[in-house]
């Protein structure tokens, strides 16, 4: 999947003055993810991760930009048949699958329904496929008649994954998919996701505020701040030597045991021109009043920071990576 210049602006009306304020939830984000790759997306609360996810799966119309799957551009104004195809090809696993499950529908029905909507299959072949899916996600065949209410959080997330697999998608977007689970269950689901990826060559976009989780599953990582892509690099590189001051702050401020960004308050002033991070950046200098582009910081990483190309004190250019 490839995404070019994806943006989303929400208009908020101010109650007292009646004036409008634009919230730039996602700003001109481009990305590409290869088959069988896992791209991690990190960023603190409000950085636009879910808005990006919702645009990718077709739940939110973008304000600008395009999405391409297997070389084909998804239509800007989709007909209902296009929407169904988009929904099948790019599937999402949510934080709380319970809210998206019909409490009266049995597990077997849930998996049957997805296949009935998307594929031309008779009942016996749908049932056979459902049994395979339950097995793949580690749910016993007896669960086919269970209703979501009787499942634990971990089992519900297994069901959500089976439902997504039933659609045979090209890309699976996981938005905080393990954030609501206990740590031990989290580990089981992460292992399951990794086994499934290997077995079926699945492609993931894995979104989390939890850097420890991102680190476990991702091949590459993108860091978002205020809707803007600030750094992208291989997972090892970004965790071992983050280049952007925001990525450094995220890693420094993450407590060792449980690296979380959720609680970080916004401080300083929020400039909408220049570098979006300059109100919080300890390195900010005069040049930061102009926003930098993504600059190469190593052969496989880019950061949106002027420090990538010059020393702020001497103004001397740095050696190109």
Ligand X SMILES: Nc1ncnc2c1ncn2[C@@H]1O[C@H](COP(=O)(O)OP(=O)(O)OP(=O)(O)O)[C@@H](O)[C@H]1O
The residues of the shown chain that bind Mg ion, judged by CB under 5 A, are: 49-50
Please choose which of ligand X, ligand SF4, Mg ion, none residue 283 contacts, taking the beta carbon within 5 to 8 angstroms, the exact cut-off set by kind: ligand SF4
What are the residues whose beta carbons fall under 8 Å from the beta carbon of 232, sequence distance 6 or more?
A: 31, 220, 221, 222, 223, 294, 301, 302
Shortest spacing between CB 233 and ligand SF4, in angstroms: 15
Q: Cα dist. 287→167, 274, 290 in Å?
A: 49, 8, 6
Shortest spacing between CB 269 and ligand X, in angstroms: 16
Dihedral through CA 276, CA 280, CA 283, CA 286, nearest 10? 50
Q: Show the site string, 50-79: x = touches ligand X by CB under 6 A, - = not.
A: xx----------------------------
User: Residue 225, interface with ligand SF4 (CB under 6 A)?
Assistant: no
Nearer to ligand SF4, 158 or 278 (CB): 278
Nearer to ligand X, 47 or 155 (CB): 47
Nearer to ligand SF4, 118 or 280 (CB): 280
Nearest-CA neighbor of 231 among 216, 249, 205? 249
User: Residue 283, interface with ligand SF4 (CB under 6 A)?
Assistant: yes
User: Residue 166, interface with ligand SF4 (CB under 6 A)?
Assistant: no
User: Residue 278, interface with ligand SF4 (CB under 6 A)?
Assistant: yes
Q: What is the DSSP letter of 98?
A: G
User: Residue 40, interface with ligand X (CB under 6 A)?
Assistant: no
Which residues, listed in sequence order, are joined to residue 174 by a DSSP beta bridge?
93, 206
Tokens of residue 284, six digits: 């900010």
Shortest spacing between CB 10 and Mg ion, in angstroms: 14
User: Residue 25, interface with ligand X (CB under 6 A)?
Assistant: yes
- Indicate the helix (H) or strand (E) that contains 248: helix 245-253
The rounded distance, in Å, linking the Cα atoms of 245 and 230 is: 9
User: Residue 249, interface with ligand SF4 (CB under 6 A)?
Assistant: no
What are the residues whose beta carbons fall under 8 Å from the beta carbon of 50, sequence distance 6 or more?
A: 175, 176, 207
Q: Are 189 and 177 in contact (CB under 8 A)?
A: yes
Could you say which residues in the range 18-37 bind ligand SF4, by CB under 6 A? none
The rounded distance, in Å, linking the Cα atoms of 129 and 181 is: 27
Could you say which residues in the range 198-257 bind ligand X, by CB under 6 A? 209
Q: Which positions lie near ligand SF4, rule CB under 6 A?
A: 245, 275, 277-278, 281, 283-284, 288, 292, 305-307
Q: Which positions lie near ligand X, rule CB under 6 A?
A: 10, 23, 25, 43, 45-51, 209
């Amino acid at each position: 999947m490839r995404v070019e210049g994806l943006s989303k602006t929400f208009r908020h009306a101010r109650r007292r003055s009646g004036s409008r304020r634009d919230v730039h939830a996602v700003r001109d984000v481009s990305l590409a993810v290869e088959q069988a790759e896992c791209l991690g997306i990190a960023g603190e609360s409000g950085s636009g991760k879910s808005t990006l996810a919702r645009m990718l799966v077709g739940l939110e119309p973008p304000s600008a930009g395009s999405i391409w799957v297997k070389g084909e551009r998804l239509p800007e104004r989709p007909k209902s048949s296009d929407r169904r195809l988009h929904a099948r090809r790019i599937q999402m696993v949510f934080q709380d699958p319970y809210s998206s499950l019909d409490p009266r529908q049995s597990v077997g029905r849930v998996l049957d329904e997805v296949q009935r909507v998307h594929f031309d299959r008779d009942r016996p072949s749908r049932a056979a496929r459902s049994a395979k899916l339950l097995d793949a996600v580690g749910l016993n065949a007896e669960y086919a008649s269970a209703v979501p209410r009787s499942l634990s959080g971990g089992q519900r997330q297994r069901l959500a994954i089976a439902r997504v697999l039933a659609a045979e998608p090209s890309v699976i977007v996981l938005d905080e998919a393990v954030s609501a689970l206990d740590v031990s269950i989290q580990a089981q689901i992460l292992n399951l996701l990794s086994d499934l990826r290997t077995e079926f060559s699945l492609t993931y976009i894995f979104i989390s505020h939890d850097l420890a989780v991102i680190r476990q599953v991702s091949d590459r990582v993108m860091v978002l701040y205020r809707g803007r892509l600030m750094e992208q690099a291989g997972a090892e590189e970004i965790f071992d030597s983050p280049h952007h001051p925001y990525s450094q702050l995220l890693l420094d401020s993450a407590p060792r045991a449980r690296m979380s960004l959720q609680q970080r308050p916004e401080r300083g002033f929020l400039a909408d021109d220049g570098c979006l991070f300059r109100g919080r950046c300890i390195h900010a200098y005069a040049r930061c009043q102009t926003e930098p582009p993504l600059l190469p910081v190593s052969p496989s990483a880019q950061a949106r920071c002027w420090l990538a190309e010059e020393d702020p004190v001497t103004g001397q250019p740095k050696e190109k990576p």
